[in-house]
Structure 1
Amino acid sequence: MIKPVNAHISATPPPPVMEARRWLEGVEFPADRPLINVSQAAPVDPPPEPMRRAMAEIVLNDAQAHLYGPVLGLPELRAQLARDWSAAYGGTLDPAQVAITSGCNQAFTSAVATLAGPGDAVMLPVPWYFNHRMWLQMSGVETLPLPTGDDLLPDPDRAAALLHERVRAIVLVSPNNPGGVEYPAALVAAFRDLARSRGIALIVDETYRDFDSREGAPHDLFTDPDWDDTLIQLYSFSKAYRLTGHRVGAMVASPARLAQVEKFLDADTICPNQLAQRAALWGMRNLSGWLAEQRREILARRAAMTQGFQSLADWRLLGCGAYFAYVAHPFDLDAEAVARQAVREAGVLMLPGTMFAPTRSRGGDGRAEAQIRIAFANVDRAGIAALFARLTALSL
């Protein structure tokens, strides 16, 4: 008889996006009211055509792209990222402080694997990115929730009061998933100082850094010559260059940390996707103008979302930025019931706040039951207008 499933995995809820897609089963969407899917924060378009042509050339002509490569990634890509980050953040990064991973999720899982094990804890601000929470739960690592204010920003003083001796890291995501908020540079620095004073890591996930509304560096952590004694930064090429299916991300950390990460990566995927790495390198060298245009479009959609909620009675916009709007709904139902009924009655697929925070039955403060995440990056401005028309008509 097959032995039971690992208890940590069996206790972990299903992947939220996959769970939400099941709500579509049996629902018909007429041609004049197609589904508006604002559930997932991933580009649905392929990479730009020049990149796809470059990738085709690589497939045909670069034999090394089909073989195993270095576990920590393509040396040229590591060096390019170190140069670009040094310029962008006004600090000094060395290629030896860069690892390439199979997506940003793997950057997170490998970082945590080197920091914490069963019985340890990691602090996540609430609402959290659900895959971060899932990995901790599956690994037997306690999630220490850090409640945020009405502005969705975490408070370093509150974090300091909650930290205990088993906490190994604090995780920040900015621009935030799911909240959309951009963490001020001073706030991020305060968390760095807190983590350093407690001898723990600060993990800063900057998956959406390319769509930050601020000009210049979003923080100055890399200007500290000793940054790598505390900071671990994560990044995704998937959002920048639409390489989601190719799985390519990055981690920036100390060489000593990356020596431990290498063990995890070698036992997991052996090396990052070779084609994806070469595509990311080509993108960094050739698509700066294209990426700037993509950023402008995302910021225009953000503005449309903000304006829309100003005129949508009873809904309250809590945070908006990068790919996300995080809102409080006005209905006398919990968020999952609202999201499920929105599929049937409005043809809109959104994710409930209960997928990003502890529910009241699990010690939450009840706010998640009144909150919704809307991932708007794949909806153009006409689609955003249609979204608001449907939300306005929604009566539950």
Structure 2
Amino acid sequence: MTFTLNPRFAATFPPPVMEARRWLDGVIHPDDRPLINVSQAAPVAPPPEALRAAMADALMTQPESHLYGPVLGLPALRARVADEWTRSYGGTVQASQVAITSGCNQAFAAAIATLAGDGDEVIIPTPWYFNHKMWLDMQGIHTVPLATGDSLLPDPDAAEALITPRTRAIVLVTPNNPGGVEYPAGLVHAFYDLAQKHGLALILDETYRDFDSRTSAPHDLFSDPDWADTLIQLYSFSKAYRLTGHRVGAMTASVKRLAEVEKFLDTVTICPSQIGQIGALWGMENLGQWLAGERAEILDRRAAMAEGFPALDGWRLLGCGAYFAYAEHPYDLPSNEVAQRLVGAAGLLMLPGTMFMPEGSAGGKRQMRIAFANIDRAGVQELFRRLSNLSI
């Protein structure tokens, strides 16, 4: 039987997290050295009990929660996001400028679907979030890498040199996945000005905004009355409220663009999960203090990561923030081989830089991403102990 396959899918690399999990096959971890999994940036604990109770109550008492809902999301949740963004960023965001999606990955896919087609170009700083690259590859859109160097901060002048008549958008992720770095507000605004100048969209993925270390707004883009002509902001409720399995994200953009996004969403999922949206709304309304505690814990783990690296012989920390540390390893082997050896030699599962960089990149061969959101300070210290005793 002939297996017919879209050649764009054949050319797209397999999901990296799933590939890394296969490295665990057949490996036995002794009781005194259990596996430390720092490969995936997602909470593994369930939502707080009160949130689960609210979702369970909706399941039992709200018949409409089992039906199709509005394609662009529940009006109450859209309004709540708009109010929160207006309060925290300044400027004005209307509920009609917010769409709820089935996770932030879908928000990115929907945004790109409205912006670019076969042969168009999108500029993304490297190291990049691999799911962004995968979606662009599957759509026949050329990913233009923007090197960031050791700072992991993209340069607007370098980005401008990459713009061609086929460029449709620039993508930024802050706090960054995989690099962890928080982009300064001035840098974000410089990219906004660049996108405005060239008539491009600026896609700003703020999945990890709730764990930004700054007390001030991470940018002021919404204060521009014309922000919707340029900015497409993405967000995820998964990390803030531990709703990963319920797939709830958001896109903030112009009303005109969301009318096009509605076409995409209606043909893919029809509507986001009703129960997930109910949970996200309840979380926004009731879990502010709890989320502040979650942020404080993540910032403490970030501090533990930063404190541990100077004592780790040969390793160099390049970026650290939100859920991630991004580092350079000291070994002669490429990072994809180092990552696989770490599983058996140290009981550590982390992702190599080769998964976040263009194929053949010299930098990717020296780099590793450590997602520390699911290990506390003691777990971070154990991770460093194993790395310091490692022989590869």
TM-score by length of 2: 0.99
2:283 maps to 283
What SS does structure 2 have at the residue aligned with 1:373?
strand
Residues in 2 aligned to 1:88 and 1:388: alpha-carbon distance in whole angstroms: 36
Shift of 1:2: 4.2
Residue 162 of structure 2 corresponds to: 162
- Looking at structure 1, the residues matched to 92 and 241 of structure 2 have their Cα atoms a distance apart, in angstroms, of 25
Residue in structure 1 matching 2:390, options 385, 391, 394: 394
Correspondence list, 1:294-373, <5 A: 294-360=294-360, 364=361, 366-373=362-369
Correspondence for 1:374 among 370, 377, 385:
370
In structure 1, the residue matched to 2:64 is 64
Once the two structures are TM-superposed, the CA of residue 231 in structure 1 deviates from its matched residue by: 0.2
Quick one: which amino acid aligns to residue 374 of structure 1? I
Alignment of 1:91-240 (within 5 A): 91-240=91-240
One-letter identity of the residue aligned with 1:389: R
Q: Deviations over 1:103-159 (max 9, x none)?
A: 000000000000011110111100000000000001100000000021100000000
Runs of at least 4 residues off by over 6 Å: none
- Counterpart-to-counterpart distance in 2, 1:309 and 1:344: 22
Residue 276 of structure 1, CA deviation: 0.3
SS of 1:182's equivalent in the other structure is coil
SS of the counterpart of 1:131? helix
Pairwise CA distance, 1:3: 5.0
Structure 2: distance between partners of 1:53 and 1:152: 41
Question: Partners of 2:266 and 2:148 in 1: how far apart?
Answer: 37
Structure 1 residue 395: deviation in Å? 1.2
Cα offset, 1:56, TM superposition: 0.8
Q: Which amino acid aligns with 1:368?
A: G
SS of match in other structure, 2:161: helix
Which string of whole-angstrom CA distances, capped at 9 and with x for unpartnered residues, describes residues 240-277 of structure 1?
00000000000000000000000000000000000000
Shift of 1:4: 2.0
- 1:202-240 CA-partner distances (Å, limit 9, x unpaired): 000000000000002100000000000000000000000
What's the counterpart of residue 47 of structure 1?
47
Question: Amino acid of the residue matched to residue 394 of structure 1?
Answer: L
Q: Alignment partner of 2:122: what SS? A: strand
Shift in Å at residue 310 of structure 1? Answer: 1.4
Q: What is the CA distance between 1:359 and its match in structure 2?
A: 2.7
SS in 2 for 1:113: helix
CA-based RMSD of the aligned residues comes to 0.6
Aligned to 2:150, the other structure's residue is in SS state coil
Gaps (5+ residues) in structure 2? Answer: none
Paired amino acid for 1:104: C
**Conserved? CA contact 1:120–1:141, under 8 Å:** yes
In the other structure, the counterpart of 1:81 is 81
Shift of 1:162: 1.1
User: How far is 1:291 from its partner?
Assistant: 0.1
State, as a whole percentage, how many aligned pairs show the same letter.
Answer: 67
User: Aligned residue pairs: how many?
Assistant: 392
Q: What CA distance in whole angstroms lies between the structure 2 residues aligned with 1:317 and 1:395?
A: 20
Deviations 1:72-93 (A, max 9, x none): 0000000000001100001100
SS of alignment partner, residue 179 of structure 2:
coil
Contact 1:359–1:369 under 8 Å retained in 2: no
Cα distance per residue 1:178-218 (max 9 Å; x no partner): 00000000000000000011111000000000000000210
Query: What is the letter of the counterpart of residue 25 of structure 1?
Result: D
CA distance in 1, matches of 2:312, 2:252: 41
Q: Tell me which amino acid in the other structure corresponds to 1:328.
A: E
